[in-house]
Protein backbone atom coordinates (compact mmCIF):
# COMPACT_ATOMS: atom_id res chain seq x y z
CA UNK A 1 0.00 0.00 0.00
CA UNK A 2 1.35 3.51 -0.78
CA UNK A 3 2.14 5.73 2.20
CA UNK A 4 0.75 9.22 2.75
CA UNK A 5 3.00 12.15 3.56
CA UNK A 6 2.44 13.67 6.99
CA UNK A 7 3.94 14.10 10.41
CA UNK A 8 3.29 10.42 11.02
CA UNK A 9 3.58 7.66 8.45
CA UNK A 10 0.03 6.46 7.73
CA UNK A 11 -0.96 3.86 5.22
CA UNK A 12 -4.05 3.94 3.06
CA UNK A 13 -7.28 2.53 4.34
CA UNK A 14 -7.77 -1.01 3.05
CA UNK A 15 -11.14 -1.54 1.45
CA UNK A 16 -12.88 -4.80 2.27
CA UNK A 17 -15.63 -6.65 0.43
CA UNK A 18 -17.65 -9.05 2.58
CA UNK A 19 -19.09 -12.11 0.82
CA UNK A 20 -22.17 -13.29 2.73
CA UNK A 21 -24.13 -11.26 5.27
CA UNK A 22 -25.58 -13.99 7.53
CA UNK A 23 -25.20 -14.92 11.19
CA UNK A 24 -21.42 -14.61 11.57
CA UNK A 25 -21.38 -11.08 10.14
CA UNK A 26 -22.46 -10.17 13.69
CA UNK A 27 -18.92 -11.04 14.86
CA UNK A 28 -17.00 -9.64 11.83
CA UNK A 29 -18.79 -6.31 11.38
CA UNK A 30 -17.99 -4.86 14.86
CA UNK A 31 -14.35 -5.86 14.40
CA UNK A 32 -14.12 -3.93 11.11
CA UNK A 33 -16.01 -0.98 12.62
CA UNK A 34 -13.45 -0.78 15.46
CA UNK A 35 -10.71 -0.48 12.82
CA UNK A 36 -12.27 2.50 11.04
CA UNK A 37 -9.58 4.63 9.43
CA UNK A 38 -7.34 1.57 8.97
CA UNK A 39 -9.91 -0.26 6.89
CA UNK A 40 -13.40 0.27 5.56
CA UNK A 41 -16.11 -2.09 4.36
CA UNK A 42 -16.77 -1.09 0.76
CA UNK A 43 -19.52 -3.60 -0.05
CA UNK A 44 -21.36 -6.68 1.17
CA UNK A 45 -22.80 -9.42 -1.05
CA UNK A 46 -26.00 -10.94 0.30
CA UNK A 47 -28.86 -12.31 -1.84
CA UNK A 48 -31.36 -12.48 1.03
CA UNK A 49 -32.93 -9.00 1.09
CA UNK A 50 -34.47 -9.82 4.47
CA UNK A 51 -30.93 -9.56 5.87
CA UNK A 52 -30.09 -6.17 4.34
CA UNK A 53 -31.55 -4.14 7.23
CA UNK A 54 -29.29 -5.92 9.75
CA UNK A 55 -26.26 -5.46 7.47
CA UNK A 56 -26.90 -1.69 7.42
CA UNK A 57 -27.40 -1.64 11.20
CA UNK A 58 -24.04 -3.37 11.65
CA UNK A 59 -22.02 -1.50 9.02
CA UNK A 60 -23.79 1.81 8.48
CA UNK A 61 -26.65 2.90 6.23
CA UNK A 62 -24.30 3.89 3.41
CA UNK A 63 -22.72 0.43 2.89
CA UNK A 64 -23.22 -0.89 -0.64
CA UNK A 65 -25.08 -4.20 -0.81
CA UNK A 66 -25.03 -6.42 -3.90
CA UNK A 67 -26.78 -9.73 -4.37
CA UNK A 68 -24.02 -12.16 -5.36
CA UNK A 69 -20.42 -12.60 -4.21
CA UNK A 70 -19.18 -12.55 -7.82
CA UNK A 71 -20.44 -8.93 -8.11
CA UNK A 72 -17.85 -7.86 -5.52
CA UNK A 73 -14.88 -9.60 -7.12
CA UNK A 74 -14.89 -7.27 -10.13
CA UNK A 75 -14.97 -4.08 -8.01
CA UNK A 76 -11.76 -2.06 -8.28
CA UNK A 77 -12.69 -0.29 -5.03
CA UNK A 78 -12.32 -3.59 -3.10
CA UNK A 79 -8.77 -4.54 -2.05
CA UNK A 80 -9.47 -7.81 -0.19
CA UNK A 81 -12.38 -10.11 0.60
CA UNK A 82 -13.78 -11.66 3.77
CA UNK A 83 -15.68 -14.86 2.90
CA UNK A 84 -18.62 -15.62 5.21
CA UNK A 85 -20.41 -18.00 2.85
CA UNK A 86 -21.82 -21.51 3.30
CA UNK A 87 -19.02 -24.11 3.36
CA UNK A 88 -19.68 -25.47 -0.14
CA UNK A 89 -19.01 -21.97 -1.53
CA UNK A 90 -15.64 -21.45 0.21
CA UNK A 91 -13.78 -23.15 -2.65
CA UNK A 92 -15.42 -21.43 -5.65
CA UNK A 93 -15.39 -18.03 -3.94
CA UNK A 94 -11.71 -18.35 -3.04
CA UNK A 95 -10.78 -19.47 -6.57
CA UNK A 96 -12.67 -16.49 -8.02
CA UNK A 97 -11.12 -14.08 -5.49
CA UNK A 98 -7.62 -15.34 -6.32
CA UNK A 99 -8.30 -14.90 -10.03
CA UNK A 100 -9.41 -11.33 -9.30
CA UNK A 101 -6.18 -10.73 -7.33
CA UNK A 102 -7.91 -10.18 -3.95
CA UNK A 103 -6.36 -11.52 -0.70
CA UNK A 104 -8.78 -13.77 1.18
CA UNK A 105 -9.92 -14.17 4.77
CA UNK A 106 -12.28 -17.16 4.93
CA UNK A 107 -14.37 -18.22 7.93
CA UNK A 108 -13.77 -21.65 9.34
CA UNK A 109 -14.12 -24.34 8.27
CA UNK A 110 -11.70 -23.72 5.42
CA UNK A 111 -13.46 -26.14 3.03
CA UNK A 112 -15.33 -29.45 2.92
CA UNK A 113 -12.19 -31.59 2.53
CA UNK A 114 -8.45 -31.36 1.92
CA UNK A 115 -8.80 -31.68 -1.84
CA UNK A 116 -10.74 -28.38 -1.80
CA UNK A 117 -8.20 -26.86 0.61
CA UNK A 118 -5.37 -27.80 -1.76
CA UNK A 119 -7.09 -26.11 -4.69
CA UNK A 120 -7.65 -22.95 -2.61
CA UNK A 121 -4.01 -22.88 -1.48
CA UNK A 122 -2.70 -23.46 -5.02
CA UNK A 123 -4.95 -20.75 -6.53
CA UNK A 124 -3.92 -18.13 -3.96
CA UNK A 125 -0.24 -18.99 -4.20
CA UNK A 126 -0.31 -18.85 -8.01
CA UNK A 127 -2.10 -15.49 -7.89
CA UNK A 128 0.31 -14.16 -5.23
CA UNK A 129 -2.49 -13.31 -2.76
CA UNK A 130 -2.64 -14.33 0.90
CA UNK A 131 -5.10 -16.91 2.21
CA UNK A 132 -6.03 -16.68 5.89
CA UNK A 133 -8.60 -18.77 7.73
CA UNK A 134 -10.60 -17.20 10.56
CA UNK A 135 -10.10 -19.84 13.24
CA UNK A 136 -11.05 -17.31 15.86
CA UNK A 137 -10.18 -19.38 18.96
CA UNK A 138 -6.46 -19.02 18.20
CA UNK A 139 -6.83 -15.25 18.62
CA UNK A 140 -9.08 -15.20 21.70
CA UNK A 141 -7.54 -13.80 24.91
CA UNK A 142 -8.54 -16.78 27.09
CA UNK A 143 -7.50 -19.43 24.55
CA UNK A 144 -4.21 -17.58 24.00
CA UNK A 145 -3.60 -17.65 27.78
CA UNK A 146 -3.84 -21.46 27.74
CA UNK A 147 -1.36 -21.52 24.85
CA UNK A 148 1.05 -19.47 26.97
CA UNK A 149 0.72 -21.95 29.86
CA UNK A 150 1.34 -24.96 27.58
CA UNK A 151 4.27 -23.32 25.80
CA UNK A 152 5.90 -22.35 29.12
CA UNK A 153 6.57 -26.05 29.72
CA UNK A 154 5.25 -25.83 33.31
CA UNK A 155 2.89 -28.78 32.79
CA UNK A 156 5.82 -31.12 32.14
CA UNK A 157 5.22 -34.03 29.80
CA UNK A 158 1.66 -33.71 28.46
CA UNK A 159 -0.18 -37.04 28.20
CA UNK A 160 -3.87 -36.09 27.92
CA UNK A 161 -6.18 -33.59 26.20
CA UNK A 162 -9.94 -33.24 26.41
CA UNK A 163 -11.84 -30.71 24.29
CA UNK A 164 -15.53 -30.35 23.72
CA UNK A 165 -18.23 -28.27 22.16
CA UNK A 166 -21.90 -28.18 23.17
CA UNK A 167 -24.75 -26.31 21.52
CA UNK A 168 -28.35 -26.69 20.53
CA UNK A 169 -28.10 -26.27 16.74
CA UNK A 170 -31.32 -26.67 14.78
CA UNK A 171 -31.20 -25.33 11.21
CA UNK A 172 -34.43 -24.34 9.48
CA UNK A 173 -35.73 -26.68 6.77
CA UNK A 174 -34.00 -25.98 3.44
CA UNK A 175 -30.90 -24.48 5.11
CA UNK A 176 -27.59 -25.28 3.39
CA UNK A 177 -26.28 -26.42 6.77
CA UNK A 178 -28.80 -29.27 7.01
CA UNK A 179 -27.19 -31.01 4.03
CA UNK A 180 -23.95 -32.99 4.03
CA UNK A 181 -22.96 -31.37 0.75
CA UNK A 182 -23.58 -27.90 2.12
CA UNK A 183 -21.72 -28.39 5.37
CA UNK A 184 -19.01 -30.84 4.30
CA UNK A 185 -20.41 -33.56 6.55
CA UNK A 186 -21.89 -32.80 9.95
CA UNK A 187 -21.10 -31.21 13.28
CA UNK A 188 -17.51 -32.50 13.35
CA UNK A 189 -16.39 -30.78 10.13
CA UNK A 190 -18.51 -27.74 10.87
CA UNK A 191 -17.69 -26.97 14.49
CA UNK A 192 -15.55 -29.61 16.19
CA UNK A 193 -12.93 -28.14 13.85
CA UNK A 194 -12.68 -25.33 16.44
CA UNK A 195 -11.47 -27.93 18.96
CA UNK A 196 -9.35 -29.86 16.43
CA UNK A 197 -7.65 -26.63 15.39
CA UNK A 198 -6.99 -25.65 19.00
CA UNK A 199 -5.62 -29.13 19.78
CA UNK A 200 -3.13 -28.92 16.87
CA UNK A 201 -2.13 -25.40 17.88
CA UNK A 202 -1.57 -26.38 21.51
CA UNK A 203 -0.32 -29.94 21.20
CA UNK A 204 1.11 -30.46 17.71
CA UNK A 205 -0.02 -32.80 14.97
CA UNK A 206 -2.36 -35.76 15.21
CA UNK A 207 -1.06 -39.22 14.26
CA UNK A 208 -4.32 -41.22 14.13
CA UNK A 209 -8.02 -40.95 14.92
CA UNK A 210 -10.97 -43.20 15.70
CA UNK A 211 -14.41 -41.71 15.45
CA UNK A 212 -18.03 -42.59 16.18
CA UNK A 213 -21.00 -40.47 15.18
CA UNK A 214 -24.72 -40.28 15.73
CA UNK A 215 -27.03 -39.00 12.98
CA UNK A 216 -30.41 -37.58 14.02
CA UNK A 217 -32.08 -37.29 10.59
CA UNK A 218 -34.88 -35.03 11.81
CA UNK A 219 -32.22 -32.38 12.58
CA UNK A 220 -29.67 -32.71 9.73
CA UNK A 221 -28.14 -35.16 7.22
CA UNK A 222 -24.69 -35.25 8.80
CA UNK A 223 -23.91 -36.21 12.38
CA UNK A 224 -25.36 -34.19 15.26
CA UNK A 225 -23.09 -35.90 17.78
CA UNK A 226 -19.50 -37.02 17.27
CA UNK A 227 -16.73 -38.43 19.43
CA UNK A 228 -13.12 -38.49 18.24
CA UNK A 229 -10.28 -40.30 20.00
CA UNK A 230 -6.88 -39.14 18.76
CA UNK A 231 -3.29 -40.17 19.35
CA UNK A 232 -0.95 -37.23 18.99
CA UNK A 233 2.46 -37.54 17.34
CA UNK A 234 3.83 -36.56 20.77
CA UNK A 235 2.29 -39.77 22.18
CA UNK A 236 -0.41 -37.93 24.15
CA UNK A 237 -4.04 -39.03 23.90
CA UNK A 238 -6.84 -36.63 23.05
CA UNK A 239 -10.57 -36.94 23.45
CA UNK A 240 -12.78 -34.56 21.47
CA UNK A 241 -16.57 -34.45 21.45
CA UNK A 242 -19.32 -32.39 19.90
CA UNK A 243 -22.98 -32.44 20.85
CA UNK A 244 -25.32 -30.25 18.78
CA UNK A 245 -28.42 -31.36 20.68
CA UNK A 246 -27.90 -30.09 24.20
CA UNK A 247 -28.84 -26.99 26.12
CA UNK A 248 -25.85 -27.35 28.43
CA UNK A 249 -24.85 -23.74 27.79
CA UNK A 250 -28.29 -22.26 28.52
CA UNK A 251 -29.42 -20.39 31.61
CA UNK A 252 -27.66 -19.01 34.67
CA UNK A 253 -26.82 -22.45 36.14
CA UNK A 254 -25.54 -23.82 32.84
CA UNK A 255 -22.81 -26.43 32.55
CA UNK A 256 -20.61 -25.16 29.72
CA UNK A 257 -20.36 -24.45 26.00
CA UNK A 258 -16.73 -25.24 25.23
CA UNK A 259 -13.86 -26.51 27.33
CA UNK A 260 -10.24 -27.57 26.98
CA UNK A 261 -8.38 -29.63 29.57
CA UNK A 262 -4.71 -30.51 29.40
CA UNK A 263 -2.84 -32.77 31.83
CA UNK A 264 0.90 -33.13 32.18
CA UNK A 265 3.06 -34.90 34.75
CA UNK A 266 3.88 -31.57 36.44
CA UNK A 267 0.54 -29.82 36.28
CA UNK A 268 -2.74 -29.35 34.53
CA UNK A 269 -4.75 -26.49 33.09
CA UNK A 270 -8.10 -25.79 31.57
CA UNK A 271 -10.09 -23.20 29.68
CA UNK A 272 -13.81 -23.11 30.25
CA UNK A 273 -16.20 -20.87 28.39
CA UNK A 274 -17.65 -18.18 30.64
CA UNK A 275 -15.15 -18.86 33.40
CA UNK A 276 -11.67 -18.34 31.93
CA UNK A 277 -8.32 -20.13 32.00
CA UNK A 278 -6.89 -21.85 35.09
CA UNK A 279 -3.72 -23.66 36.09
CA UNK A 280 -2.60 -26.03 38.88
CA UNK A 281 0.95 -27.22 39.50
CA UNK A 282 1.46 -30.72 40.89
CA UNK A 283 4.03 -32.03 43.36
CA UNK A 284 7.68 -31.43 42.61
CA UNK A 285 7.06 -28.71 40.06
CA UNK A 286 9.68 -26.74 38.26
CA UNK A 287 10.69 -23.84 40.61
CA UNK A 288 10.65 -21.40 37.70
CA UNK A 289 7.00 -22.31 37.14
CA UNK A 290 6.15 -21.63 40.80
CA UNK A 291 7.89 -18.26 40.55
CA UNK A 292 6.00 -17.41 37.39
CA UNK A 293 2.51 -18.62 38.33
CA UNK A 294 2.61 -18.24 42.14
CA UNK A 295 2.62 -20.56 45.22
CA UNK A 296 -1.19 -20.69 45.20
CA UNK A 297 -1.03 -22.78 42.03
CA UNK A 298 0.44 -25.62 44.17
CA UNK A 299 -2.74 -25.78 46.30
CA UNK A 300 -5.44 -25.60 43.63
CA UNK A 301 -6.43 -24.08 40.31
CA UNK A 302 -5.55 -20.39 39.98
CA UNK A 303 -6.82 -18.02 37.29
CA UNK A 304 -4.37 -17.19 34.51
CA UNK A 305 -4.35 -13.58 33.37
CA UNK A 306 -6.05 -13.30 29.96
CA UNK A 307 -6.44 -10.61 27.33
CA UNK A 308 -10.02 -9.34 27.18
CA UNK A 309 -10.40 -9.41 23.41
CA UNK A 310 -12.58 -11.72 21.34
CA UNK A 311 -11.11 -14.07 18.74
CA UNK A 312 -12.83 -12.45 15.77
CA UNK A 313 -11.79 -8.97 16.85
CA UNK A 314 -8.15 -9.97 17.10
CA UNK A 315 -8.07 -12.16 13.99
CA UNK A 316 -9.54 -9.37 11.87
CA UNK A 317 -7.20 -6.81 13.37
CA UNK A 318 -4.18 -9.02 12.55
CA UNK A 319 -5.51 -9.63 9.02
CA UNK A 320 -5.90 -5.89 8.42
CA UNK A 321 -2.32 -5.38 9.64
CA UNK A 322 -1.14 -8.00 7.14
CA UNK A 323 -3.04 -6.26 4.30
CA UNK A 324 -1.43 -2.95 5.26
CA UNK A 325 2.03 -4.51 5.16
CA UNK A 326 2.50 -4.14 8.93
CA UNK A 327 3.91 -6.78 11.28
CA UNK A 328 1.12 -9.21 12.05
CA UNK A 329 0.55 -12.29 14.18
CA UNK A 330 -1.41 -14.40 11.71
CA UNK A 331 -1.28 -18.03 12.89
CA UNK A 332 -3.97 -19.47 10.63
CA UNK A 333 -2.73 -19.43 7.04
CA UNK A 334 -4.50 -21.67 4.53
CA UNK A 335 -1.58 -24.13 4.69
CA UNK A 336 -1.85 -24.31 8.48
CA UNK A 337 -5.66 -24.63 8.57
CA UNK A 338 -5.62 -27.45 5.99
CA UNK A 339 -4.29 -29.72 8.75
CA UNK A 340 -7.47 -29.16 10.77
CA UNK A 341 -9.68 -30.17 7.84
CA UNK A 342 -7.46 -33.24 7.40
CA UNK A 343 -8.11 -34.44 10.97
CA UNK A 344 -11.88 -33.90 10.55
CA UNK A 345 -11.86 -35.71 7.19
CA UNK A 346 -9.88 -38.59 8.70
CA UNK A 347 -12.50 -38.75 11.49
CA UNK A 348 -15.28 -38.96 8.89
CA UNK A 349 -13.46 -41.81 7.14
CA UNK A 350 -13.04 -43.58 10.49
CA UNK A 351 -16.76 -43.20 11.32
CA UNK A 352 -17.66 -44.58 7.89
CA UNK A 353 -15.37 -47.62 8.02
CA UNK A 354 -15.33 -48.35 11.75
CA UNK A 355 -11.52 -48.42 11.58
CA UNK A 356 -8.85 -46.18 13.03
CA UNK A 357 -7.33 -43.84 10.38
CA UNK A 358 -3.66 -42.77 10.34
CA UNK A 359 -2.58 -39.40 9.03
CA UNK A 360 -1.65 -38.12 6.49
CA UNK A 361 -4.62 -39.12 4.32
CA UNK A 362 -4.78 -38.89 0.52
CA UNK A 363 -6.96 -36.12 -0.93
CA UNK A 364 -10.12 -37.23 -2.73
CA UNK A 365 -12.61 -34.95 -4.49
CA UNK A 366 -15.98 -34.24 -2.86
CA UNK A 367 -18.58 -36.51 -4.44
CA UNK A 368 -20.10 -33.65 -6.47
CA UNK A 369 -16.88 -31.75 -7.22
CA UNK A 370 -17.24 -28.06 -8.05
N1 LIG B 1 -16.33 -18.80 14.19
C2 LIG B 1 -17.54 -19.10 14.63
O3 LIG B 1 -17.75 -19.26 15.82
C4 LIG B 1 -18.64 -19.24 13.62
C5 LIG B 1 -19.98 -19.20 14.03
C6 LIG B 1 -20.99 -19.29 13.04
C7 LIG B 1 -20.63 -19.46 11.70
N8 LIG B 1 -19.32 -19.51 11.35
C9 LIG B 1 -18.91 -19.71 9.95
O10 LIG B 1 -19.31 -18.58 9.16
C11 LIG B 1 -19.66 -18.99 7.83
C12 LIG B 1 -21.06 -18.55 7.53
O13 LIG B 1 -21.94 -19.10 8.49
P14 LIG B 1 -23.27 -18.33 8.96
O15 LIG B 1 -23.66 -18.96 10.24
O16 LIG B 1 -23.07 -16.86 8.89
O17 LIG B 1 -24.26 -18.86 7.83
P18 LIG B 1 -25.56 -18.11 7.28
O19 LIG B 1 -26.34 -19.10 6.51
O20 LIG B 1 -26.23 -17.36 8.39
O21 LIG B 1 -24.93 -17.01 6.29
C22 LIG B 1 -24.43 -17.32 5.00
C23 LIG B 1 -24.94 -16.23 4.08
O24 LIG B 1 -24.38 -16.40 2.77
C25 LIG B 1 -25.38 -15.95 1.88
N26 LIG B 1 -25.12 -16.43 0.52
C27 LIG B 1 -25.46 -17.61 -0.04
N28 LIG B 1 -25.09 -17.64 -1.34
C29 LIG B 1 -24.50 -16.45 -1.61
C30 LIG B 1 -23.94 -15.87 -2.78
N31 LIG B 1 -23.88 -16.54 -3.94
N32 LIG B 1 -23.41 -14.65 -2.69
C33 LIG B 1 -23.45 -13.95 -1.52
N34 LIG B 1 -23.99 -14.43 -0.38
C35 LIG B 1 -24.51 -15.67 -0.43
C36 LIG B 1 -26.68 -16.48 2.46
O37 LIG B 1 -27.83 -15.82 1.93
C38 LIG B 1 -26.49 -16.25 3.93
O39 LIG B 1 -27.03 -15.06 4.41
C40 LIG B 1 -19.46 -20.53 7.83
O41 LIG B 1 -18.18 -20.82 7.36
C42 LIG B 1 -19.60 -20.90 9.28
O43 LIG B 1 -18.96 -22.11 9.66
C44 LIG B 1 -18.33 -19.38 12.28
- Paired with 17 in beta bridges are 43, 81
The segments of the chain whose pLDDT lies below 70 read: 1-11, 369-370
* Ligand 1 proximity of 26 Cβ (cutoff 6 Å): no
The two domains 3-137+314-333 and 138-308 share their CATH topology (first three levels equal): no
> Among 14, 17, 16, which residue's Cα sits nearest to residue 37?
14
The residue whose CA is least distant from atom 11 of ligand 1 is: 84
> What are the helix (H) ranges across 7-140?
25-34, 52-59, 69-73, 90-99, 114-127
Between the CA of 30 and the centroid of ligand 1 the distance, in Å, is: 16
Query: What topology does CATH give the domain 3-137+314-333?
Result: Rossmann fold (3.40.50)
- Paired with 158 in beta bridges are 264
- pLDDT (tens digit, 9 = 90+) per residue, 15-36? 999 999 999 999 999 999 999 9
User: Which atom of ligand 1 has the smallest separation from the CA of 106?
Assistant: 41
The residue whose CA is least distant from atom 31 of ligand 1 is: 68
Query: What topology does CATH give the domain 138-308?
Result: Dihydrodipicolinate Reductase; domain 2 (3.30.360)
Distance CA 229, CA 210 (A): 5
Supply the DSSP symbol for 155: T
Please say whether the beta carbons of 21 and 50 come within 8 A.
Answer: no
Between the CA of 24 and the centroid of ligand 1 the distance, in Å, is: 6
Sequential DSSP letters for 62-101: T-EEESSHHHHHT-TT--EEEE---GGGHHHHHHHHHHTT
For position 369, what pLDDT does the model report? 61
Distance CA 85, CA 103 (A): 16
* Ligand 1 proximity of 43 Cβ (cutoff 6 Å): no
Distance CA 312, CA 327 (A): 18
* Ligand 1 proximity of 136 Cβ (cutoff 6 Å): yes
Q: What pairing do the DSSP bridges indicate for beta strands 357-358 and 206-214?
A: antiparallel
Please say whether the beta carbons of 63 and 55 come within 8 A.
Answer: yes
* Ligand 1 proximity of 255 Cβ (cutoff 6 Å): no
User: Which atom of ligand 1 has the smallest separation from the CA of 51?
Assistant: 39
Distance CA 172, CA 177 (A): 9
User: Which atom of ligand 1 has the smallest separation from the CA of 25?
Assistant: 16
Distance CA 205, CA 219 (A): 32
Please say whether the beta carbons of 160 and 150 come within 8 A.
Answer: no
* Ligand 1 proximity of 63 Cβ (cutoff 6 Å): no
Of 20, 83, 110, 340, which is best to mutate to test ligand 1, by the most ligand atoms within 8 angstroms of its C-beta?
20
For position 55, what pLDDT does the model report? 98
* Ligand 1 proximity of 108 Cβ (cutoff 6 Å): yes
Of 18, 21, 23, 195, which is best to mutate to test ligand 1, by the most ligand atoms within 8 angstroms of its C-beta?
23
Between the CA of 111 and the centroid of ligand 1 the distance, in Å, is: 13
Of 18, 22, 196, 257, which is best to mutate to test ligand 1, by the most ligand atoms within 8 angstroms of its C-beta?
22
Please say whether the beta carbons of 155 and 266 come within 8 A.
Answer: yes
- Domain coordinates in residue numbering, the chain: 3-137+314-333, 138-308
* Ligand 1 proximity of 84 Cβ (cutoff 6 Å): yes
Return the ∠ at Cα 220 (arms to 96 and 87), rounded to 5°. 15
Find the helix or strand (DSSP H, E) in which 214 lies: strand 206-214
For position 83, what pLDDT does the model report? 99
Between the CA of 216 and the centroid of ligand 1 the distance, in Å, is: 23
Helical pair 141-152 and 193-203, crossing angle rounded to 10 deg: 30
Distance CA 369, CA 345 (A): 16
For position 31, what pLDDT does the model report? 98
Between the CA of 191 and the centroid of ligand 1 the distance, in Å, is: 13
Distance of CA 348 to the CA centre of its chain: 19
For position 10, what pLDDT does the model report? 45
- pLDDT (tens digit, 9 = 90+) per residue, 141-164? 999 999 999 999 999 999 999 999
The residue whose CA is least distant from atom 25 of ligand 1 is: 20
> Among 274, 275, 163, 177, which residue's Cα sits nearest to residue 220?
177
Polymer length in residues for the chain: 370
Distance of CA 340 to the CA centre of its chain: 9
Find the helix or strand (DSSP H, E) in which 210 lies: strand 206-214
Neighbours of 370 (CB within 10 A): 13
Distance CA 366, CA 345 (A): 11
* Ligand 1 proximity of 68 Cβ (cutoff 6 Å): yes
Amino acid sequence: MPEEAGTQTRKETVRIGILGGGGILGAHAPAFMKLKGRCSVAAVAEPDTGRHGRIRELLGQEVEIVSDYRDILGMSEVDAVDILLPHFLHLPATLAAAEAGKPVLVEKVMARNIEECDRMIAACEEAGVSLTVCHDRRYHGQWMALKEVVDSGCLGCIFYWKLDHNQNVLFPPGSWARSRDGLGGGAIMSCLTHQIDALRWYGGEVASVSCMTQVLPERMEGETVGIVAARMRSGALAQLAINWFTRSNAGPDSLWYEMVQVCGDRGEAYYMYGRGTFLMLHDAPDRAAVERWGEAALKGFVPVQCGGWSGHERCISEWVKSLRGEDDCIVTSGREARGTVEVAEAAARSAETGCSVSLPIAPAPWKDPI
